[in-house]
Amino acid sequence: MDAHVLKRAVAKEAIKRVETHQGNDIILGIGTGSTAECFIAELPKLRDRIKTTVSSSERSSALLLELGFEVQDLNAVDRVDVYVDGADEATQDGFLIKGGGAALTREKIAAAKANKFICIADISKRVAQLGGFPLPVEIIPMARSAVARQLVALGGRPEWRENVVTDNGNWILDVHDMHIERPEEMESSINDIPGVVCNGLFALAPADCILLATPDEIIEID
């Protein structure tokens, strides 16, 4: 089945999950990427339930504004009821790699503030072990070479994602050949490197619920 069809299916399921939230004043957080954009496309169904939104990227903010939704800075809201975002890899334990769209830092901040983090993806993103997808690491530009050497010491093969600047004005190193057996430890180790802003492992604070679309059904990992 076409991947876009699966993304639309899981986005519709996420809409149903958000609908179960009590009240008509939902503050909704929305992530970045093709699956998140499928979710945004379904949001008009919940227009009367959503008080405001926050977004992890300028692109998602623009799409929300086009649909007539208010988008607020995260600092302007006292809570995020639900945060919905995609993933590049997901394990049965609920650990994720995110950041293929270079919005990992804002995604991690928004997810951390949310009362519930729902991750949506198609079944191709489910893996037994993280690391097949290159791990994105957002870095301060002046630290690129120094951080890269430390990532090599951790067993990876970092590549600078040239011509990409994050919404925060930083650069991305994509770390290949990482066989991540202990995601929580690896997330902490990378974050401790001077010059690292954030890395794309979501292990210390994983998703509360992962929805994966197959051709036949939606699988839930929680």
Taking the chain, what is the end-to-end CA distance rounded to the nearest angstrom?
A: 25
Which SS3 state, helix, strand or coil, does residue 68 take? coil
Q: Please report the DSSP string for 113-175 in residue order.
A: HEEEEEEEEEGGGB-SSBTSSPEEEEE-GGGHHHHHHHHHHTT-EEEE-TT---TTS-EEEEE
How far, in whole angstroms, is CA 207 from its chain's centroid? 9
Please tell me what DSSP assigns to residue 211: E
Query: What stretch of H or E contains 208?
Result: none
Catalytic residue among 89, 107, 138, 187: 107
Helix/strand/coil for 2 = coil
CA distance 10 to 81: 19
**Among this protein's residues, is 107 annotated catalytic?**
yes
Residues pairing with 166 in the sheet: none
In whole angstroms, what is the distance from residue 46 CA to residue 205 CA? 27
Beta bridge partners of 208: none
What's the longest Cα–Cα distance across the chain?
51
Residues classed as catalytic: 107
